[in-house]
A and B are shown apart, each in its own frame.
Chain A
Amino acid sequence: MIHAPRQEVLRYLGYRGMEPEGQVAALIDARTAAVEGAAVPRWTALELPLALSQTGAVLGTWEIQSQKLATHLEGCTSALLFAATLGVEVDRLIARSAAGRVAQAAVDQAAAAALIEAVCDDACHQLAGRYPGQYLRPRFSPGYGDFPLSAQPELLARLDAPRKIGLTATSAHLLAPVKSVTAVIGVAPTPGKCHAGGCATCSKENCTFRR
């Protein structure tokens, strides 16, 4: 079973290196366990040939207009489409807490965020094992930089993600179940120079949760 790292749960709750005590610590431990119990993590990936252009990247027959993505994939020989989800029961768990137990809901939310990242990291570790002698670049998700969220439906369709792992997009291109991740992952013959994903690519620099 994959666990949500406690330090990450605390970071999502806004703790900056401080330790919660008493009631709060107990709540965090109990709800992390509840989220881990409700989660049915699933992921899927698909390798596609990659070509870069001036305006973006071409993955197989799919042309994505995003210079940031193209920059991110420089030096890669192919790319993986990737999707992972904790499943619908975690959403239900959070919705249930939200009906009257908002402290619990906030902790659920943080534990689920930490858990889906851990699931993705574990999946990428497994994927890396399939490419001996090559390097997987960090995950780059729709919504990062100029990689539009509107790429979500196509990315999911090409992975057959609704059928395979139950992951869908709403008409506003949000993922459902909510605690899910999609990304493009470059496969390269050399380790990349520091291509940071996540917080470093985000323009919201005063964010409470920034690493």
Chain B
Amino acid sequence: MTFLDALHSRRLFCDGGTGTLLQARGLKGGELPETWNLLRPEEITAVHTAYLEAGSNILCANTFGANGLKFPAGGPFSLEEIVTAGVTLARDARAVSGREDVYIALDLGPTGKLLKPMGDLDFEEAVALYAQVVRIGAAAGADLVLIETMSDSYEAKAAVLAAKESCDLPVVVTTVYGENGKLLTGGTPASTVALLEGLGVDALGVNCGLGPAQMAPIVEELLSLTSLPLVVNPNAGLPRQEDGKTVFTVSPAEFAVHMEYLAGLGVQVLGGCCGTTPEHIKALITACKDLPWAPPAPKDRTLVSSYAQAVEIGPRPVVIGERINPTGKKRFQQALRDHDLEYVLGQAFAQEEAGAQILDVNVGLPDIDEPALLVEVTEALQGVLPLPLQLDTSDPAAMERAMRRYNGKPMLNSVSGKEESMAAIFPLVKKYGGVVVGLALDETGIPPTAEGRLAVARKIVETAARYGIPKKEIVIDPLTLTISSEPEAALVTLEAVERIGQELGVATILGVSNVSFGLPQRETVNTAFFTMALQRGLSCAILNPNSGAMMGAWRAFCALTGRDPQCAGYIAAYSGQAAQAPAPAAVLSLGDCVLRGIREGAAQAARDQLAAGAAPLELVDRVLIPALDQVGQGFEKGTLFLPQLLMSAEAAKAAFEVVQSAMAGEDRPSQGKVVLATVQGDIHDIGKNIVKVLLENYSFEVIDLGKDVPPQRVVEAACQPGVALVGLSALMTTTVVSMEETIRRLRAACPQVKVVVGGAVLTQEYADQIGAHCYAKDAMATVRFAKEVYKQ
């Protein structure tokens, strides 16, 4: 019987802890347990044999920490020998036992590094590290790949892709939840299930972190979410310190009682983790082996996820923000061309605050590298934004690259009923996972009737099924046409929404605002149409969440239809608004707003002054710059401090943006270009960001290269025409070395360019020693030096 046959026909039992057993046999602190596969194989065999005798069916090869980071090429141990020996020892122990119901798992643990952007391990490097081990382990004869103790969804994704791309073995993944019910990197049971089911693993579950009693609520939640067999491998309780040692205190008998309870809830695979011994596993198996077994029940739940949270489509309508899209937006187009991610993030935060649950991400512009840009924007968003994303592109190559890098299970916009589109998109959905928007159009165009759109929807659902994609992963867009050109258009769409939901049992989505194209007061029409569509069963809407009327319609609909218990969402959004005093009229002048750091006030005052006829450049020269100077001088004299300096800078920035937009395409005259970078190896970039804001206020054009920047990239940027100054930051003594290297190469390649340095460990002497032209003790000092450089 293969592992998968066994998994789907009976309860299976994993082995238990290995580390404590090996320590009892003499493994020292700092010694890598996997080295014992070669150095002390008899001890590893003894552990396997003990678990076989206890009755385990799934035996983990001693490969948990074996990867190319811990066993680099050229090191004292060969990774290939370590992993091969690990799998072989487990196989040999099974052969000696004579049991045929035992499966050998190639055991993959975390790499020990954090992935970018929180750490420095690139996603594809992580995939490559795991792939290397999987190839060796599969060749050595493992029966399955067990990816366990994962506390980062992104790393788990890398490991699953590596396993699926490097072998044909079944893949099982278990993750670690803390006492707060979350992964260390923030994921929830729902977001994890969404990701792993999307990636097509064969079973999933939970291990380590908690004891069996503390795991119960998480197990219950997982059971309500997953359609896959569930694996539960707890520790022997929570760790406790005794005489300076970590001990686990749940006895085998107590462990078995809790595990019997979990088995009764419907868990298919049970075993142990830290602190559990063959005695624990034996007691567990004795308690559970005769309990009735049932396969997991299929769950008809449509989930999309981010690193942090899942959004379910179905129970109540989902709002998808449409603002990350350059179509018809000059400022957004420019931001994309300039790789101005801060602007894009600003659009994302505003939609999140307005109540969007998922954000659509479209970066399609002529003459740009859309695959690269979609990945860049997706990575920037998922680094800081907990909302799931809807990847929106007509380019399958861009779709694939963004899906691969996406930290979660995305929504995909879109596939259509065209054969070519389905052939391009469905294999991606099958491989990476995703909830895909199916447009109700095909080679013949958009069917004019609801019946025709239903037929296309049916074709999409049936074709998806042939790729192994269930209908719960599809959301049909019956398409919104414009009523000003086709009076019946809205009625057709509404009928299609209802029939697709009722006759196909498939969720629906609409881009609502098309309906009013060409009409005045569009929001009035949009809001009414949106409410009508909700009433006909619409599951998701792509709309502008900054529109108060649309969000109001949505919140009111949820409250009116019992989808907002106690009207809590409605009340949270609107209570207190009426009671709020009207905003005080702009009593402060523009200069005062900047001095006091009042951002909205500064923008409003600038608008007022422009409306009253002030010349834009005059506002800059006569009001904004003098106010900034005053704050800057106060900072340098020590009468005011960094937060105030920065709040004033931000207030000024808000005013500059108003002034800029009043200048109708003309730019403020630039004082000069400054390249800024946090040097290679360093990920602390707050200082650099502060400098950037201040330089921009003083009309310098900043080319911000970001953090962890290799010397060569700094040199390339510095050699561009018009650049006379480079600013480098470094926080740690170790990274000052890379600052020195960057300066050396700058001086060789572009000797005319000046270099200013700053950062916590730097001093004037240190700066002189590494060849900088200027040491800036704070941000204002950089501004002063920049002015000096460009005066010459």
Chain B residues near A102 (CB-CB < 8 A): 646, 649-650, 686, 689-690, 692-693
Q: A61-B30, A177-B118 are in contact. Are A106 and B686 (CB under 8 A)?
A: yes
A 173-211 to B, binary, CB cutoff 8 A, 1 in contact else 0:
110111000000000000000000000000010111000
B468 at the interface (CB under 8 A from A): no
A174 touches B112 (CB 8 A): no
Cβ 8 A contact of A98, one of B112, B598, B680, B685: B685
B117 touches A14 (CB 8 A): no
Chain A residues near B642 (CB-CB < 8 A): 13-14, 106
B734 at the interface (CB under 8 A from A): yes
B178 at the interface (CB under 8 A from A): yes
A62 touches B596 (CB 8 A): no
Q: Size band of the A side of the interface?
A: 35 or more
A75 at the interface (CB under 8 A from B): no
Cβ 8 A contact of A157, one of B112, B118, B341, B349: B112
A100 touches B345 (CB 8 A): yes
Binds B, one of A20-28, A65-73, A116-124: A20-28
A23 touches B647 (CB 8 A): yes
B735 touches A166 (CB 8 A): no
A residues 57-105 touching B (CB-CB < 8 Å):
60-62, 78, 87-89, 91-92, 94-96, 98-103, 105
A149 touches B30 (CB 8 A): no
A 29-56 to B, binary, CB cutoff 8 A, 1 in contact else 0:
0000000000010000011100000000
B548 at the interface (CB under 8 A from A): no
B6 at the interface (CB under 8 A from A): no
B184 touches A166 (CB 8 A): yes
Chain B residues near A176 (CB-CB < 8 A): 114, 118-120, 683
B113 at the interface (CB under 8 A from A): yes
B241 at the interface (CB under 8 A from A): yes
Cβ 8 A contact of A177, one of B114, B383, B647, B777: B114
B384 at the interface (CB under 8 A from A): yes
Chain A residues near B763 (CB-CB < 8 A): 204, 206
B 625-650 to A, binary, CB cutoff 8 A, 1 in contact else 0:
00000000000001001111011011
The docked-state distance in angstroms from the alpha carbon of A182 to that of B258 is 36
From residue A31, how far is it (CB to closest CB) to chain B in Å? Answer: 9
Which of A20, A87, A101 has most chain B Cβ within 10 Å? A101
The docked-state distance in angstroms from the alpha carbon of A131 to that of B742 is 48
The docked-state distance in angstroms from the alpha carbon of A117 to that of B680 is 27
Chain A residues near B690 (CB-CB < 8 A): 102, 106
The docked-state distance in angstroms from the alpha carbon of A98 to that of B685 is 9
Cβ 8 A contact of B643, one of A28, A89, A171: A28
The docked-state distance in angstroms from the alpha carbon of A62 to that of B738 is 28
B residues 524-554 touching A (CB-CB < 8 Å):
none
A163 touches B689 (CB 8 A): no
B643 touches A27 (CB 8 A): yes
A174 touches B647 (CB 8 A): no
Q: A23-B596, A92-B118, A163-B109 are in contact. Are A171 and B681 (CB under 8 A)?
A: yes
B28 at the interface (CB under 8 A from A): yes
B 651-693 to A, binary, CB cutoff 8 A, 1 in contact else 0:
0000000000000000000000000000011111110011011
| Majority secondary structure, B binding face | loop
The docked-state distance in angstroms from the alpha carbon of A98 to that of B689 is 7
Chain B residues near A173 (CB-CB < 8 A): 732, 734
Q: Size band of the B side of the interface?
A: 35 or more
B119 touches A170 (CB 8 A): yes
Chain A residues near B29 (CB-CB < 8 A): 46, 48, 60-62, 158
B151 at the interface (CB under 8 A from A): yes
The docked-state distance in angstroms from the alpha carbon of A40 to that of B182 is 10
A174 touches B732 (CB 8 A): yes
Chain B residues near A22 (CB-CB < 8 A): 596
From residue A76, how far is it (CB to closest CB) to chain B in Å? Answer: 14
B502 at the interface (CB under 8 A from A): no
A109 touches B345 (CB 8 A): no
Chain A residues near B184 (CB-CB < 8 A): 40, 87-88, 165-166
CB-CB nearest in chain B for A187: B244
B110 at the interface (CB under 8 A from A): yes
Cβ 8 A contact of A100, one of B120, B346, B383, B735: B346
A18 at the interface (CB under 8 A from B): yes
From residue A24, how far is it (CB to closest CB) to chain B in Å? Answer: 5
Cβ 8 A contact of B681, one of A48, A91, A174: A174
B598 touches A95 (CB 8 A): no
From residue A185, how far is it (CB to closest CB) to chain B in Å? Answer: 12
B732 touches A149 (CB 8 A): yes
A130 touches B241 (CB 8 A): yes
B180 at the interface (CB under 8 A from A): yes
A174 touches B643 (CB 8 A): no
The docked-state distance in angstroms from the alpha carbon of A161 to that of B193 is 26
Cβ 8 A contact of B384, one of A87, A92, A106, A166: A92
Q: Which residues of B contact A (CB under 8 A)?
A: 28-31, 109-110, 112-114, 117-120, 149, 151-152, 178, 180, 182, 184-186, 208, 241, 244, 341-342, 345-346, 349, 383-385, 596-598, 638, 641-644, 646-647, 649-650, 680-686, 689-690, 692-693, 731-735, 738, 760-761, 763, 777-778
Complex A-B, nearest 6 residue pairs according to Cβ-Cβ distance, in ascending order: A172-B681, A103-B646, A166-B184, A47-B244, A176-B119, A170-B120
27 examples of A-B residue contacts, CB within 8 angstroms: A22-B596, A46-B29, A61-B28, A78-B244, A88-B114, A92-B118, A96-B384, A99-B342, A99-B384, A102-B646, A102-B693, A103-B643, A103-B646, A103-B649, A103-B650, A150-B734, A166-B184, A168-B112, A168-B113, A172-B120, A172-B732, A174-B684, A176-B120, A177-B114, A178-B683, A207-B760, A208-B777
Known: A61-B29, A173-B734, A178-B683. 17 other contacts (CB 8 A): A20-B644, A23-B596, A27-B647, A60-B29, A88-B118, A92-B186, A95-B384, A98-B686, A99-B384, A106-B690, A143-B733, A163-B151, A168-B119, A171-B681, A174-B684, A204-B763, A206-B763
